Amino acid sequence: MATFNEMYDGETVRPAYEALNRWVNSTPPELLAQKKEEAEALFRRIGITFAVYGEGGDTERLIPFDMMPRVFTEAEWRKLERGVKQRARALNAFLYDVYHRGEIIRAGIIPADLVYHNEAYEPAVVGIDPPRNVYSHIVGIDLVRTGPGDFFVLEDNCRTPSGVSYMLENREIMMRMFPDLFKSMRIAPVDDYPNRLRRTLASVAPMKCDGTPVSVLLSPGSFNSAYYEHSFLADQMGIEIVEGQDLFVQGDFVYMRTTEGPQKVDVIYRRIDDSFLDPLCFRPDSMLGVPGLMNVYRSGGVAIASAPGAGVADDKAVYIYVPEMIRFYLGEEPVLNNVQTYKCGEPEDRKYVLENLKDLVVKEVHGSGGYGMLVGPRSTKEEIEAYAERIKADPSDFIAQPTLALSTCPTFVDEGIAPRHVDLRPYCLVGQEVHLCPGGLTRVAMTEGSLVVNSSQGGGVKDTWVLAD
């Protein structure tokens, strides 16, 4: 399968990249190399690192930053925007449904076991009506491109999609290093994302909120791999970053401890997993959550974004049914296609997968971050045989997909500028309104030929430009 190059159509530069191409050709290579070093120094000075779990030694790593941006025309972005917003609405409708009447299951569209026996399904949330019936307030949709108009959804992230701080910092660094380039092009801004997020959180304040809603960001603390992002977003939004010990329940409300006494909290943007939220409801050994939080949530005294139990919508086995959700809840045809997906729990699918492992990408249903994957074409015979045994041992824990020819973008590497494979995670905010930030996080596989873009697996990040007509 031919790989789609987003910048070049043969020898011809595509319209989206014409201005960037002129700039690259007029910039001396030594200046580009100097700017690359400056960008890396900025990342290090700002502290844009991430933690890699399960490794000895220094687990704090600098995320590789590529200063060659990815560019979309406004027309290309309009299609993506329609598709991502449509998907975010359908996923929220699904979440409301499965925690209430389960109409999509009654209709025989999604198997009951897949939802109700899913480890991400939270019975404690059944029957709760969150403000505006929104369960997933920040939806990150992972997309890949295979042709001029061909975009596919790889997976949905409905719990706490990370990476938005990189999107914002990428843009900040690019504007600081190349101000003349931004002056010469009309590029849609992304810097209002924190304000949009703050307004989204305020828009889902509970009915019991009186006055201006008070929002906080609940973090597991500085040892978490995404703590940089937690503190960055809280600072950008102008809200407090708190840990579980900073909050307490009294009566029907949640309060924050401050130097001036308790302050009532209306909205909690949580960046900790469901199981740690409330030791009285979930894991009793959790030291990260707030005892009694779920009782307040049930009574409408606080909003939690995203809602406990939202993870059942981004399960990789449930993903298969999202196009049917769109048809069922919205009465529309999907704008964005899924990747063909095989369920290893189904005998016929499993037989096909085991016979074709060398050509497929296999993922754990509940996996994330690129861990636990098998990329068949890039794996050894021994790795494939070992993975086959894992599938046979627990088939329902795996899904498989064809190895797509991910598009490539120009990327600044040691040899100069060369094509590297990319994906995209745009961020959709769901509250009183549904808003898609015009950009997103482009992740890039820095190694030639690699299809794995996750930072935990050596991938980098680059700025994403949406051109205004």
At 335 the three-state DSSP class reads coil
- The answer to whether the beta carbons of residues 373 and 155 sit under 8 Å apart is no
What pLDDT is stored for residue 302 in this prediction?
A: 97
Domain boundaries in the chain? 8-206+302-334+404-466, 340-402
DSSP-assigned letters across all residues of 432-462: SSEEE-SS-EEEE--STT-----GGGT-EEE
Written as six digits, the tokens of 454 are 């996750």
Question: Minimal CA–CA distance to 134: which of 315, 310, 320?
Answer: 310
The span from the CA of 340 to the CA of 19, in Å, is 36
The span from the CA of 156 to the CA of 142, in Å, is 6
E strands, 212-326, where? 215-218, 240-242, 247-250, 253-256, 263-265, 267-270, 303-305
What pLDDT is stored for residue 57 in this prediction?
A: 47
Reported as half-sphere exposure (CB side, CA atoms, 13 A), residue 126 has a value of: 9
Residue 267 carries which side chain, given as an amino acid letter? Answer: V
Per-residue pLDDT of the chain (469 residues; tens, 9 = 90+): 679 999 999 889 999 999 999 988 988 888 888 888 888 888 777 766 555 544 444 456 677 888 899 999 999 999 999 999 999 999 999 999 999 999 999 999 999 999 999 999 999 999 999 999 999 999 999 999 999 989 999 999 999 998 899 999 999 999 988 898 898 889 999 999 999 999 999 999 999 999 999 999 999 998 888 898 999 999 999 999 999 999 999 999 999 999 999 999 999 999 999 999 999 999 999 999 999 999 999 999 999 999 999 999 998 889 999 999 999 999 999 999 999 999 999 999 999 999 999 999 999 887 665 567 888 888 899 999 999 999 999 998 999 999 888 999 999 887 788 999 999 999 999 999 999 999 999 999 988 887 777 766 678 899 999 998 6
CA of 447: how far to CAs of 114, 359, 418, 422, 462, in Å?
Answer: 37, 20, 11, 11, 15
Question: Minimal CA–CA distance to 155: which of 317, 4, 376?
Answer: 317
What pLDDT is stored for residue 157 in this prediction?
A: 95
What pLDDT is stored for residue 64 in this prediction?
A: 83
Written as six digits, the tokens of 280 are 């009285």
Phi/psi at 47 (5° precision): 95, 30
Question: Minimal CA–CA distance to 249: which of 234, 260, 261, 265?
Answer: 265
Q: Kindly report the pTM of this predicted structure.
A: 0.92
Tell which CATH classification among 3.40.50.300, 3.10.310.70, 3.30.1490.270, 3.40.640.10 matches the domain 340-402: 3.30.1490.270
At 88 the three-state DSSP class reads helix
Query: What's the distance, Cα to Cα, between the start and end of the chain in Å?
Result: 32
What pLDDT is stored for residue 436 in this prediction?
A: 98
